[in-house]
Copies of this chain bind each other. A is one copy, B any other.
């Protein structure tokens, strides 16, 4: 499958004689863990003292964010306590026994649902990504593109979870939404009372109200006790701490869909209601701040995702975009979910650029920055999904290479 695997061993493996015991040393670990009794079972597990992952924080602010450290993760899932955050007035503290969701407006039977009510409905499970519409806007000030940025700093407003909740279509039938209702306002119970308009068609398709995340109750940072989940659509629409849905025959033109989450276009119009997250990918290894200690075989690995369905291919260039080869996609590939890709690369030791481009089931191909700007103009902030190149120099140092590969 991988050709001559002995090639892996030539540079990095030590001899067997070096390792006939498993010594442990250092400030924290036992000198020899086989000679001392271990820690007892407990109610809640802990990370190893040698592992200290954390979300990437700028200056904490009420209208602030934290990013998932993509470079510290592997596989496809995001641990709940590392899921990215983007709040508009901080994280509210909600008593689930007092939680209610009001559904009203153009409906036959306006109703309020307790959390227990929501949980009594038939449930559904879905693994999908949530991505902030502003994810990956780094580099758009082309005079000031940084090179020392990690995958998480670039694209860490992206996380993947298994969600459980009630399908919105189930609630639509319960309240009887009227034939002329075409949009609903989703309103959060945070201090921003965050609001967005959502087309009813998404509710009939695959939207849900989620109350579980990765097996357990949804975390406060992700909307406890219940949030709107709109698979594949921009994160800000997926209202957390959801407390109200009002149905109407038009969008509500709320602040967060007019003054924000809208992009000016070159023809002096604006791109509004840009719901779907376009296909994107990023190599998470090797990437800044990795340094490859030697040439030879390395596995390039990263994530690809599309808000329009499944990833059908990820192509890798190890020669600055001259040639492209298909990466392996980790199965199962799920619709509107991140997909881990992997590609074996034999580094010659010369300077080069590594690039990935995602292709989704609609045939859409992740564009270069040049193609992206040609389509959207220079003023775009949101939905920036251009190819993210990494430069590898002859010392094996990896830096963000967008200034040199546009």
Which residues of A line the B interface, CB within 8 A? Answer: 2, 5-6, 8-9, 12-16, 18-20, 22-26, 28-30, 33-51, 53-55, 57, 60-62, 64-66, 72-83, 85, 87, 89-104, 109-114, 116-117, 120-125, 162-164, 170, 173-174, 189-191, 193, 212, 214-217, 219-222, 224-225, 241, 243-244, 297-299, 301, 330, 332, 334, 340, 342, 344
Contact = CB atoms under 8 A, between A and B. Distances in A.
Given A75-B125, A120-B299, A49 B93 contact: yes
A220 to B, nearest CB: 5
B42 A190 contact: no
B214 A26 contact: no
Nearest to A340: B125
Label chain A's interface by main secondary structure.
loop
Contacts of A125: 74-76, 330, 340
Given A45-B81, A94-B29, A189-B22, A216 B53 contact: yes
Which 9 A-B residue pairs are closest in the complex by CB-CB distance? A38-B90, A19-B112, A33-B92, A43-B54, A29-B95, A45-B81, A16-B110, A19-B100, A41-B66
Contact of A38 (B18, B62, B104): B62
A12 B116 contact: yes
Contacts of A49: 93
A34 B92 CA distance: 8
A81 to B, nearest CB: 4
Contacts of A6: 173-174
A312 to B, nearest CB: 17
Given A74-B164, A102-B20, A50 B215 contact: no
